[in-house]
Every structure is written in C-alpha cells, then in structure tokens.
C-alpha cells in the first residue's frame, strides 16, 4: 500500500538530513566557524553567516519540550485512523529542537522534560521519519 | 519606533454581514465593506487614493478593490502576505504612507470566505516543501495544532488551566450576545467549554475561533482631515509591529522561537507604550487577538497587564468582564463575533471610542488597545477618542 500522508520533499539544504534518516542516522548541521548546531538545515549559519558546515550525528537523545495530542483528525481522510496521536517539540542534547511524533507510549503518559530517543519510521522506500520514544537508557542529568 | 502620535486617525468603518456562507465573491465583500467605511467617514469616494490589505492567498488584491470602488487615482494599493499578525500593521502602514506623501485617504480591508471558501484550518499539500517538510509529515498541520503547542508550554511553566482558558471563551460569548454582528450569540457557561469536544489537547472546540465569510474595512486619514469628517476622529496614539528573534520561516513555524510560553507581544510592548505615551493602566477597553483563548492570556502578560505567567489568574473573577477592570473583546472577538482576522477588533474599538457600541458600550471609554497576532510576530495599536 502506498503511503498517503504528507511526506518531506528534500531540497538542496535538507537532502543530507533526509538521506541520513534513511540510513538510520539523525544528522545535524554544525557550523565549522562558530561550532553552533542548527536546525532546520540552512545553507548559511544564522549565527555567524558562514557557509562552511559539517553534518554530524546527533546522539538521538533529548527531552520533550512541549507536546499536543491530536484528537480531531485534519484532514479526516488522512488521519482518521491515527487519532489520538502525539506531536511534540523535542529538544535534542545538541540544543536544537525538532518537531516529531512521540511513539511507543500512551499519550497520557507523556510529561514535560521526559527523556526520549530517536527511532526511524520508514514509511516508504524514499522516506524515513525521525520519531521519538521514551528513552530506554539515558545519562543522568 | 512609531513617531506619529495623534497625527493620524480612523475616520470611517464598514463591514459586511458575517456568515458561514456568503454566497458572494470575496471581491464583492471587500467592496461592500470599503464602500461603507467611506460612506461612514462622509468622504467622497474620489478622495480615496490608497488601499491596503493583507491576505493568506485567500483574498483579492488591493488594486481589484480600488477598481471595484472606481477610485480615480489609487496611488498606494498594496497588500501584505500575512495572517492576523498584520491586522493592525495595515493601519500603521496606511498612516505611514500618508505621512510619506504617498496618499491622502487610505482604506484598510480584510475580506475572505473563510468558512465557505478557503479554510485556514484545512490541510496542507501532501508534498511538504520548505519548512513544512519538518512539520506536516508528523501530522502537525493546522493552526489549532500549532497554537496548542504554545499553550502547553504555558501550562508547563506556569500551571495554567483549561478552566482559565474557558473563562476567556465565556466572556467573549457573553459580549457577543449583545452584538448584532456576532455569529455566535448564545451565551455559554464554563461547563459548556469544559464539555466541548477535544480537538487537540489542550484545546477544546470552544478554545478555537470561528471560521467566517465577510469583510471589514477602516479608513485612515490625517488627524487634520478627520476633524472635518462625519464622526469625531479616533486618533492613532501608538503603533508597533514585530516580534523577537527567530520568527520562523512562515507563520506556522516556531521551531527556533525562544520559548512558546511568550509570544510577539512581549517584544513589541515597549515600543507600543512608548509610542503612545500611555501604559496598560490607561486602557479603558482592550480588543485582544483571540484566535484561541490561550493567545489572550499570553498577550495580557506580554503587553504588561499582568506579570509573565499570571494571565490565567488575571482573567478570572470578572476582571475582563464588561464591568471589570479591563473589559476585553467587547464584540465577542474572533471566538464569538467573527474571524475577520483581527480587523474586526479595530472596527469594534472605533465603535467603543465613538460611544456608539450600544448595549456593549464601555462607559467613558477614551483609550483602546487593539492587538493582532498570536505567535512569533504581531501588531498592536493604541487608539483614543
């Protein structure tokens, strides 16, 4: 069955990110000049303007910054079977945030600052989405 | 910073009926609201030489409205590609254009078939490009879903409750019950809010604004010219537009925003009050952008009516009622009057300052605040009679 939900269309700035996901790697841009991590990907660094950048692997670990539970599907024909589902902003250990889904736990069990880790949901041959589940191991704060 | 205190004024207001199904073109709605605003001002149509609007790809260009109105010389017919964040910005832009000599009498309008036509609450394309490739594939698509993420942050940081949000919905509906323009006039109780369907936690249905067909317009001119027109001028004391760092790649995107427990209002409040020469304590009536109940709390904090984190407590115990310390959204707001993307707040503020708001009138209202926006960028005006 073909995947009938919104899919990312990689562009020159984001292609390495999505290719990394397909290989099971969560890659982030780190500026070669100021060493800052950034996300979403961009050609030049918003902090210092440098275009010199390296793609480095994230630990894939982070914490829930905020989350919502979608109970009313929009569009209905796409999400009717998925509700309730959780969308979260996860703050990675590298300091950047990304939007994602929290999977592998009941929505009611999610709490602020909950430790999560990345899992890749390969929705088609071309696309793997980085989602997060409750962390099985995490470093002590 | 805005440095035109009291030099410009709103001299005319107009609107269409607000409905769920207009059965008319957006252009017809826009022309009707604009024509009424010009008539209300008592100005000859030929004197109007500017039209400013904003839209989300869901409306008509300003030149189309200038054409529909038969303006002989539209020197300044422009639009902003924006959401509700621009509802006060267009008034500011109209005054700035007049100051610069680009026009003399400028209409500002917002028109849309927001329920029967293009619905802002609808989905997005399956192929997600640009910043949307990092949001829509996770089923994060609609504005209620976007804003719920902000609301949750406020709950996390400050313990804000759904009942506090509900107080805003109940207040707006009570005000709308006295407003013949309002789409939703049946009063509700807090229990109705609490039992309304959950749409996206933490938002119930009654935390979310209406979808509306309709148009609203205001006419901006110089204070000197306004004095010779039909109504007493409503002066633009202060104005501000903007936001903080990392306003994002579009109006949905706030991935890099510093903290979603605060919005644009925190960042423009100083400019607004300094430009107006007054402060929050001087405001008699506040029409606060209420695309969601939550956005009201955040702006009450940002504009300094209470401390950060105290918005939830502030709205309780009648403080925002018509006879309270700070009457808000006297027309019912976007939650209960109509979603004309915030320009209807300016319309209502003008009615209040003219003393013509009927059963909704705040006695002795001299200074009004209008705000527009809920997320990373927005605009606000301080108006006086």
Give me the number of domains chain B comprises: 1
**Which pLDDT does position B123 carry in this prediction?**
61
Report how far residue B384's alpha carbon sits from residue B96's, in angstroms, rounded to the nearest whole number.
Answer: 18
Q: Which helix (H) or strand (E) segment is A69 a member of?
A: strand A61-70
Provide the shortest C-alpha distance from residue A6 to chain B (in Å).
Answer: 4
Asked whether B368 and B384 are in contact (CB, 8 A), the reply is yes
Task: Please check whether residue B324 lies inside any domain of the structure.
Answer: no
Radius of gyration of chain A (CA): 16
- Please write the tens of the pLDDT for every residue from B165-181: 999 999 999 999 999 99
pTM (global) more than 0.95: yes
Q: Which residue has the tokens 């009654």?
A: B206
Any CB–CB contact under 8 A between B244 and chain A?
Answer: no
| B201 to A100: CB separation less than 8 angstroms, yes or no | no
Q: In angstroms, what separates the C-alpha of B240 from chain A's closest C-alpha?
A: 25
Residue B333 phi/psi, 5-degree rounding, is: 70, -170
Contact call for B139 and A82, based on CB within 8 A: yes
DSSP string, B185-198: -S---HHHHHHSPE
Which two three-digit tokens encode residue B234?
Answer: 């409503």
Smallest CA–CA distance from B258 into chain A, residue: A97
Mean pLDDT, contiguous 10-residue spans, chain B (385 residues)? 98 98 98 98 98 96 98 97 96 98 98 92 78 97 96 98 98 98 98 98 98 98 98 98 95 95 97 98 98 98 98 97 97 98 98 98 98 98 98
Please give the Cα distance from B22 to B338 (Å, whole number).
13
- Residue B39 counted as domain residue: yes
Q: Where are the alpha helices (DSSP H) in B177-258?
A: 190-195, 223-226
Residue whose entry in the numeric block shows the structure tokens 């939650």: B335
The token pair that represents B133 in the structure block: 């490739």
Q: Does A19 touch chain B (CB under 8 A)?
A: no
Q: Which residues contact B25 (CB under 8 A, 6 or more apart)?
A: none
The structure tokens listed for B315 are 């709205």
- Active-site residue, from B18, B267, B289, B314: B289
B152·A40 Cβ contact <8 A: no
Work out the burial of residue B301: count CB atoms within 10 Å of its CB; fewer than 13 is exposed, 13-18 middle, 19 or more buried. Answer: buried
Q: Which of B8, B158, B241, B339 is catalytic?
A: B339
Position B56 in a domain: yes
Cis amide linkage into residue B164, ω under 30° from 0: no
- Tell me the two tokens of residue B267: 């960042």
Weakly modelled stretches of chain A, pLDDT under 50 = 141
Which pLDDT score is estimated for B261? 95
B276 with B244: CB under 8 angstroms?
Answer: no
Q: Is B145 on the interface with A (CB under 8 A)?
A: yes
Distance between CA atoms of B97 and B116, rounded to whole angstroms? 34
Kindly list the residues from chain B whose CB atom is less than 8 angstroms away from the CB atom of residue A112. Answer: 156
Contacts of B152 in chain A (CB under 8 A): 66-68
CATH assignment at residue B41: 3.40.47.10
- B93 within domain boundaries: yes
Please give the residue of chain B at the shortest CA–CA distance from A64.
B153
Respond yes or no: is residue B339 known to be catalytic. yes
Is A40's CB within 8 Å of B141's CB?
no
Residue B113 inside a domain? The answer is yes
Who among B152, B249, B255 is closest to A98 (CB)? B255
Q: B17 is in which domain, residue-wise? A: 8-118+211-226
- What integer pLDDT is reported at residue A96 of this predicted model? 98
| Kind and range of the H or E run holding A16 | helix A15-22
Q: Considering the domain boundaries, does residue B41 fall inside one?
A: yes
| pLDDT digit string, tens, across residues B257-284 | 999 999 999 999 999 999 999 999 999 9
Q: Which among B131, B136, B149 has the least Cβ separation from residue A6?
A: B136
Q: Under an 8 A CB cutoff, do B199 and A98 touch? A: no
Q: Which of residues 191-210 of B touch A (CB under 8 A)?
A: 197-202
pLDDT value for B337: 98
């Amino acid at each position: 069955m073909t995947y009938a939900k919104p899919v990312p269309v990689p562009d020159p700035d984001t292609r390495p990110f999505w290719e990394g996901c397909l290989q099971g790697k969560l890659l982030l841009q780190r500026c070669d000049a100021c060493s800052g991590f950034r996300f979403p990907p961009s050609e030049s660094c918003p902090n210092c303007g440098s275009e010199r950048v390296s793609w480095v692997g994230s630990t894939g670990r982070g914490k829930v910054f905020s989350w919502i539970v979608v109970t009313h599907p929009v569009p209905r024909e796409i999400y009717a079977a998925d509700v309730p589902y959780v969308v979260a902003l996860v703050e990675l250990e590298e300091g950047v945030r990304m939007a994602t889904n929290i999977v592998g736990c009941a929505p009611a069990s999610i709490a602020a600052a909950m430790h999560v880790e990345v899992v890749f949901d390969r929705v088609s041959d071309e696309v793997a989405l980085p989602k997060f589940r409750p962390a099985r191991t995490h470093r002590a704060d | 910073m805005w440095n035109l205190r009291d030099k410009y004024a709103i001299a005319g207001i107009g609107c269409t009926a607000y409905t769920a199904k207009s059965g008319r073109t957006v252009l017809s709605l826009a022309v009707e609201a604009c024509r009424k605003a010009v008539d209300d001002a008592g100005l000859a149509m030929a004197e109007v030489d500017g039209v400013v609007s904003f839209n989300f790809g869901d409306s008509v260009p300003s030149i189309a409205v200038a054409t529909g109105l038969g303006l002989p010389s539209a020197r300044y017919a422009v639009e902003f590609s924006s959401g509700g964040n621009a509802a006060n910005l267009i008034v500011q832009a109209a005054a700035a254009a007049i100051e610069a000599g680009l026009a003399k009498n400028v209409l500002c309008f917002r028109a849309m078939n927001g329920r029967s036509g293009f619905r802002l609450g609808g989905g997005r394309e399956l192929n997600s490009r640009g910043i949307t490739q990092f949001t829509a594939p996770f089923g994060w698509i609609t504005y209620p879903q976007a804003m719920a993420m902000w609301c949750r942050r406020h709950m996390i940081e400050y313990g804000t409750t759904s009942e506090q949000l509900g107080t805003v919905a109940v207040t707006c509906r009570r005000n709308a019950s006295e407003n013949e323009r309002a789409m939703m006039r049946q009063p509700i109780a807090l229990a109705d809010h609490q039992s309304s369907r959950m749409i996206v936690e933490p938002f119930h249905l009654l935390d979310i604004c209406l979808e509306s067909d309709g148009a609203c317009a205001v006419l901006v001119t110089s204070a000197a010219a306004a004095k010779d027109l039909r109504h007493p001028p409503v002066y633009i004391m202060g104005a501000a537009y903007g936001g903080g760092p990392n306003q994002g790649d579009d109006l949905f995107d706030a991935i890099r925003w510093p903290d979603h427990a605060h919005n644009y209002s925190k960042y423009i409040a100083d400019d607004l009050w300094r430009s107006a020469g007054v402060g929050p304590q001087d405001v008699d009536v506040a029409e606060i952008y209420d695309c969601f109940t939550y956005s009201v709390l955040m702006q009450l904090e940002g504009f300094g009516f209470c401390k950060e984190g105290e918005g939830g407590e502030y709205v309780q115990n009648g403080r925002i009622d018509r006879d309270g310390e700070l009457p808000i959204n006297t027309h019912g707001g976007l939650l209960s009057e109509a979603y004309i993307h915030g320009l209807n707040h300016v319309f209502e503020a003008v009615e209040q300052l003219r003393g013509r708001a009927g059963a909704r009138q705040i006695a002795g209202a001299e200074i009004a605040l209008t705000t527009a926006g809920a997320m990373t960028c927005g605009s606000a005006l301080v108006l006086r009679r």
